[in-house]
Structure 1
Amino acid sequence: MHQFQICPVLIVAMICLTLCHSVMMETLPLCIGIQGMQESQGSPGKVGQKEAKEDSGAPFDMSRVLALEKQLAALQQSLTFYTNVLQFLGSICKDGNKTFITAGKTANFSSAKSECSLAGYQLSAPKTEAENMVMQRIVKKYDKDAWLAISDEKMEGTFVYLDDKPISYSNWNPGEPNGEHQAEDCVVMQTTGKWNDSICTEKGLVICET
């Protein structure tokens, strides 16, 4: 019996084929799926409702507007007052609710009334002893007789305020008013605080009051 010898090369080739087959079986996917059918597009959904418009804020408050307008009017009034005060830079004295203002100017009685009126004030006239003392301090400071908003121009011997009301307070010098030559229809305060009737065309210190 002849012994067949297997070529070592053949054995190696067979081993390689076996190993390659095993490797291919392990690495190939188990199955290959078939491509599925394309899904049809669904019907469109309902259109959503629009969001309600955002509230623009609190309702209009007219009372606040009126309150602000009132405050503005008060500020404007104060501004006007202090603007006018600047025209009378000199002396400012206060007694209670009344304020006396002067710039130290002199004028006749008619011009004195006009100057105070144009500034939004009126020519001063003390109606109490306390007010008379306050005015006296100003008169002494400038050392000039000052006009009072009192006269008897309309009726000789009857002294009244500018609104024609009879005077409620007086501080006349002894023997005054004397109406000398019936020409002294206006009234001045002297540095002593006493009053004297005087000729209206003369010049006197202009003191206004508020």
Structure 2
Amino acid sequence: MFNGSCYSFRKDMKDWESAREYCKSLGSELVKITSNAENEFIRNQTVIDYWIGLNDKDIEGRFKWSVDNSSIQDNGNYSRWASGQPDNDDGIQDCGVIYSTGTWDDRNCIYGHYFTCEKPAS
């Protein structure tokens, strides 16, 4: 638990959409990272790349959080993109991952990654 949310760090490989559906089946959503403190909390729990709830599937270059469709710009501009990211390499990278370093990257949504689910603590 961190800052009023519960997290589930899943170590089964799923594509982004399957990871999101799995989180929803738990009553949660892929994680939405809103601060450096939360980013560091998540980074400290992970050892490889994990899906986060960030994507630009609807409008290229406008990343939004799947839980509420808010964009990074709506979120006080908090982001931790790795240098040169997001880059939409090969025109097929629409989903966000967090590296073990705490920086973010855009990846092809069909790749399999571990993932993090988040829901409000009750």
TM-score (ref. length: structure 1): 0.52
1:133 to 40, 55, 59: 40
Q: Are 1:172 and 2:81 matched, yes or no?
A: yes
What SS is found at the alignment partner of 2:101? coil
Distance 1:105 1:138 in 2: 15
Q: How does 1:20-169 map to 2 (within 5 A)?
A: 94-140=1-47, 144-162=48-66, 163-167=68-72, 168=75, 169=78
The answer to whether the aligner puts 1:184 opposite 2:93 as a matched pair is: yes
In 2: Cα distance, 1:124 partner to 1:201 partner: 18
RMSD (Å), alpha carbons: 1.0
1:73 alignment counterpart:
none
Identify the structure with bigger relative contact order (alpha carbons < 8 Å, sequence gap 6+).
2
Q: 2:30 corresponds to which letter in structure 1? A: L
Q: Which structure dedicates a bigger proportion of its chain to helix?
A: 1
Distance 1:126 1:156 in 2: 20
**Structure 1 residue ranges without an equivalent (≥5):** 1-93
Equivalent pair of 1:95/1:130 in contact (CA under 8 Å): no
Whole-Å separation in 2 of the counterparts to 1:113 and 1:98: 17
Could you tell me how far 1:121 is from its partner in structure 2?
1.0
Q: Is the 8 Å Cα contact of residues 184 and 200 (structure 1) preserved in structure 2?
A: yes
Structure 1 segments, 4+ long, off by >3 Å, are none
